[in-house]
Amino acid sequence: DLDGMSARRKFAYACLDWSERRPHIGGALGASLLEYGLARRWMTRDLNSRALYMTRAGKREMLNVFGLNCEE
């Protein structure tokens, strides 16, 4: 829901993760994609860390919906 995004937050930017040194999508777009994926169980959180895991269904749907291949 792009209409619900805060006007004070940057829409999207490349953000380098401080611990993994890998890029991810920052800003309102990244937060919305995370919320969307968690709600659909495309990804899960590790409750003991900041880690996220892409589910098998999530990998499939990221390819179908966004054209992103999330296989490593």
Report the pLDDT value the prediction gives residue 50, as an integer from 0 to 100.
83
In the chain, what are the domain boundaries? 10-66
Identity of the residue numbered 64: N
The string of pLDDT tens digits covering residues 4-54 is: 555 678 999 999 988 878 888 899 999 999 999 999 999 999 999 888 999
**Any idea what the Cα angle at residue 72 is, between residues 40 and 48, rounded to 5°?**
55
Mean pLDDT over 56-67 rounds to 94
For residue 16, what are the β-bridge partners? 23
**Any idea what the Cα angle at residue 31 is, between residues 30 and 33, rounded to 5°?**
65
Report the pLDDT value the prediction gives residue 17, as an integer from 0 to 100.
84
